[in-house]
Chain A
């Protein structure tokens, strides 16, 4: 009974070939990172991180991942535990297993039932700012000059 299970398990457990990670930086289960983890491109985290995580790509946090970190990324899919502030430029996706203890800021969000979020959540703040600035421009009477931009700003 066990032998057949083992065989199938062994096949499942084969390390993935490089193409599988899609060229992404990977922190796998059983690996710990401490410090400012700055990366270019996509990042997959299934291990532990203490510090900061910054990338201009997609951050994918797996179900077993534990992060005590401030996160600043372009897009994020979170299925694990995050303790710290999460700032996502564009799209944040929280899976049902996600647990975030900290404030979240993002442009758009998709949250599955079961996700846990303890903290302030600000979604679409960027859009709101853009719209309000558009409204201000629209409210100006015709012919009135907009305030000149300061040089060097």
Chain B
């Protein structure tokens, strides 16, 4: 039914290419898809349509639609649908739209796109953002690279190497985070990737915990992940294995239709200093206040 609706507009010049994920074949999505189609038609958002299947390459499908004149590729599905095309899509000169139908839809949340037929209104508004895309070896990624429970190190721009002392998890983020509650913690428009390291907790640390721990956070443009044995890296939701990965950022590489409530940059950006330091651990707050305080140069006798 949805195909008939789309393919009925062949006489008109296609600008939209609608790509439906294969999980939408399930009968439980029939109603939702019918409502979505009706909404798209009422907004005059029409174009070619195709469905991803197990035996058809997403790259071939999209490239053929782009070669036939589509300049906006609209993915219908969930976050995993994005993962299926993100590894090659930034190389095509297209604008990406997204209509989330089902969970997981964390990326959709970050992009400010509501789930279901109301997402069509976001598409119609065409609020386009040009954002950065990360690259791990030859593969593009939108959200993050995650290395969990690893002893790997990150070589930052050939200048220094950073690693968890006794193992931990490393996240290299471009847009938001899949590991947390969906709020943006990395800025996808700053031309940098954010490296976050969470060391493993020490033994007995649950009983003898100290003050709140900060996350390690550094920025990089290019770098390398190195390990002494093969490691598993989760790129968006795809898994790659190697002992070395080259990593970098491709600034302003992807045009994306977003909602008004997009969160492409951390929510704290632009907060006054007082608010920014409100959650700092006691010692750090004290030290920061002291450093910005009146500057009374009290000299005391030095020990040693």
- Taking Cβ atoms with an 8 Å cutoff, the residues of A that contact B are 2, 5-6, 9, 12-39, 44, 46-48, 51, 58, 60, 62-63, 75, 77, 79, 91, 93, 95, 108-118, 121
Contacts and interface: CB of A to CB of B under 8 A. Distances in A.
B218 A25 contact: yes
B276 A20 contact: yes
B161 A34 contact: yes
A95 B300 CA distance: 11
B160 A37 contact: yes
Contact of B159 (A19, A35, A62): A35
Contacts of B281: 16
A117 B304 contact: yes
Contact of A47 (B165, B268, B288): B165
Nearest to B185: A18
Interface in B263-304: 266-269, 271, 273, 275-281, 283-284, 287-288, 290-291, 295-304
A105 to B, nearest CB: 16
B160 A110 contact: no
A79 B287 contact: yes
Closest 9 interchain pairs by CB? A19-B268, A35-B160, A30-B199, A20-B279, A9-B209, A28-B216, A77-B291, A28-B214, A113-B300
B207 interface: yes
A83 to B, nearest CB: 14
B212 interface: yes
Nearest to A109: B297
Contacts of B165: 30-32, 47-48
A111 B299 contact: yes
B177 to A, nearest CB: 10
B176 to A, nearest CB: 11
Given A9-B206, A118-B304, A28 B159 contact: no
Given A37-B160, A79-B287, A15 B300 contact: no
Nearest to A114: B303
B187 to A, nearest CB: 10
B215 A16 contact: yes
Contacts of B303: 114-116
Interface in B178-218: 185, 197-200, 202, 206-207, 209, 211-218
Name the interface size band of chain B: 35 or more
Contacts of A17: 185, 268, 279
B143 interface: no
A66 to B, nearest CB: 11
B288 A77 contact: yes
B290 A77 contact: yes
B92 interface: no
A35 B279 CA distance: 31
B240 interface: no
A28 B217 CA distance: 8
A28 B269 contact: no
A118 B296 CA distance: 23
B164 interface: yes
The residue among B161, B198, B273 with the most chain A CB atoms within 10 A of its own CB is: B161
A62 B283 CA distance: 8
Given A16-B212, A27-B218, A60-B291, 7 more contacts: A13-B209, A18-B266, A18-B268, A47-B216, A95-B287, A111-B300, A112-B298
Contacts of A35: 159-161
24 contacts: A13-B209, A15-B214, A20-B268, A23-B268, A23-B276, A27-B162, A28-B197, A30-B199, A31-B163, A31-B165, A31-B197, A35-B161, A75-B291, A77-B287, A93-B287, A93-B291, A95-B287, A95-B290, A108-B297, A110-B296, A111-B299, A111-B300, A116-B303, A116-B304
B168 interface: yes
B298 A111 contact: yes
Given A12-B209, A28-B213, A47-B165, A19 B266 contact: yes
A6, A30, A62, most chain B CB atoms within 10 A: A30
A91 B199 CA distance: 32
